Structure 1
Amino acid sequence: MKVSEYLREYNIKLLKSLGQNFLTNQKIAKEIVEKAEIDEKDVVLEIGPGAGALTEYLVLTGAKIIAVEVDKRLIPILKRFNKFDNIQIVFQDFLKFDLSILPKDFKVVANIPYSITGMILKKILFSRFSRAVLMVQKEVGERLLAPPRSDRSFLSVVVQNFTVAKKLLNVSKGNFIPQPKVDSVVLDLKRKKDFEYDIGEFWNFVSRCFEAKRKTLYNNLRKFTDVGCFSGFDLKRRPQELENEEFLELFERFKGCK
């Protein structure tokens, strides 16, 4: 049965307040799951299964699937997965879900609500995940992958230093119900094993470096630390101009000066 048919059968109107834009193209759903390279030994977190387009293929991998869905109106649609013994559906706000109950190196596969992309990414990055395959708004995805000296944000720097990030595929807006105003991309974020810093501390440091993107590093850094720690650096540059490796060196200097 198609996603639109499930919604019609149970008279469910999707809510803009929940960022509900459900993927309807099963070919794309299958491709996303295939590109996530899941095997039966994996534990996979799906954020917002919705009507189950991705879930249809996730359960067939044989992996243990934990699907977290905030909208209890979808219970009658998702109950079709009760016949599988490798899936657990938790009806809860993902931002309140305790990720510490998941084993180390779990994977994430999800079409995430675009309105809270940043908060979801932060929660994933702060967890013990190994890989995340995420559908996000195209503009957001392109910014996350943006190189130095382009329109990047602090989140671009964090993601690119903490993960090996790449685009897997483009997904046009016509593949969703209701149709959003923007296209989407699917990103692959593989956690780097050699990242040796506390991700929370690094996140906070980089975000403060970007506090005012149009200002120089000097102006941003001096608000919270001794700029003398960074002798030899050209602090007249703006934060988006730095290479990823330079942020790691800045952070190392910052930690040494505290």
Structure 2
Amino acid sequence: MENLTISEVAKKYNFRFKKGLGQNFLIDDSVLDDVVDGAEVNEEDFVIEIGPGFGTLTRELLKRAKKVCAIELDEKLFPILEEELKDFNNFELIHNDALKVDFNELMGDEKSVKLVANLPYYLTTPIIVNLLTKGYDFKSLTIMIQKEVGVRIDSEPNCKAYGAFSILVQYYCDTKIIRLVPPTAFIPEPKVESIVIRLDRLKEPKVKVKDEALFFSIVRKSFNMRRKTLWNGLKDIGIDKENLLKCFERANIDPVRRGETLSLQEFALLSDEIGSAK
């Protein structure tokens, strides 16, 4: 495939792009290099790729990784990938929906697992949530996603983009934006800009909380209506108003603040106080 463009490969195999599967294939070599460099892929890494497309990114990963296991839902891509990547003996192709994969089973005894992918936009949030909350032991996630979502993931308190999803990702990972990617880097061109971001999985969550389920429930309630104060968002949390007010006082958080002003650490403090009062 090195001598063929994406359009030529599509024509060669009579392949038609499927909008329903979010198929936007990367054609910019500089972006490919930045993704692989940003992921810091090396010969010790077992790399999982979601949605390899025609294998342009896969090929670059195969040159550096110990092994690349690609998960693809569209069976029509299989003969293309198998033919175009036949010279690599460290390539494995799996037909499955990434949301249904048991990644622990896939990883086996591998010690250094990195996930690298140009994710379909419609799958971005559920895949990230699935990978983070199920405790899979990967080192990092380097993904190309819609710019808007990447900015949300990397945002800080008091930013418009900051929300429950920002907190969920930052609870489990350190985040680093690698680069922006214009629509012209893909075929077909998407209507929005993309971003490459790396999520480095932490050995322990960034904050320690007594009740993780309660912590995330409080975060969600605090952002359900962004104009609501914390007090209005949390008054149905399951304790009486007097005790709830005392929880705010002990956490040193003003109940008239809004959720988007609280740091991860402040949410953890408030969560632990409310948990103790229940």
CA distance in 1, matches of 2:16, 2:95: 18
Q: 1:199 to 1:174 in 2, by over 3 A?
A: farther
Which residue pairs with 2:11 in the alignment?
A: 8
Contact 1:105 1:131 in 2 (8 A): no
Contact 1:138 1:184 in 2 (8 A): yes
The 5 Å alignment of 1:27-66 reads: 27-66=30-69
Q: CA deviation at 1:97?
A: 1.0
Q: 1:85 to 1:197 in 2, by over 3 A?
A: farther
Q: CA deviation at 1:40?
A: 1.7
Which residue pairs with 1:166 in the alignment?
A: 176
Which amino acid is 2:186 matched to? Answer: F
Q: 1:256 to 1:50 in 2, by over 3 A?
A: farther
Which residue pairs with 1:194 in the alignment?
A: 204
Q: 1:133 to 1:220 in 2, by over 3 A?
A: same
Contact 1:40 1:62 in 2 (8 A): yes
Match of 1:219 among 224, 232, 235: 232
Give the TM-score normalised by the residue count of structure 2.
0.85
Does 2:168 align with 1:148? no
Report the count of equivalent residues. 258
Which residue pairs with 1:89 in the alignment?
A: 93
Contact 1:135 1:185 in 2 (8 A): yes
CA distance in 2, matches of 1:22, 1:200: 38
Q: 1:197 to 1:52 in 2, by over 3 A?
A: farther
CA distance in 2, matches of 1:198, 1:11: 56
Q: 1:249 to 1:200 in 2, by over 3 A?
A: closer
- Superposed CA deviations along residues 118-155 of structure 1, whole A, max 9, x for unmatched, are 10110121222221111111111112212211112200
Does 2:245 align with 1:238? no
Q: 1:54 to 1:225 in 2, by over 3 A?
A: farther
CA distance in 1, matches of 2:212, 2:46: 24
- Superposed CA deviations along residues 27-66 of structure 1, whole A, max 9, x for unmatched, are 3112211221112222211111111121011111132211
Q: CA deviation at 1:105?
A: 5.2
Give the TM-score normalised by the residue count of structure 1.
0.92
Which residue pairs with 1:138 in the alignment?
A: 147
Gaps of 5+ in 1: none
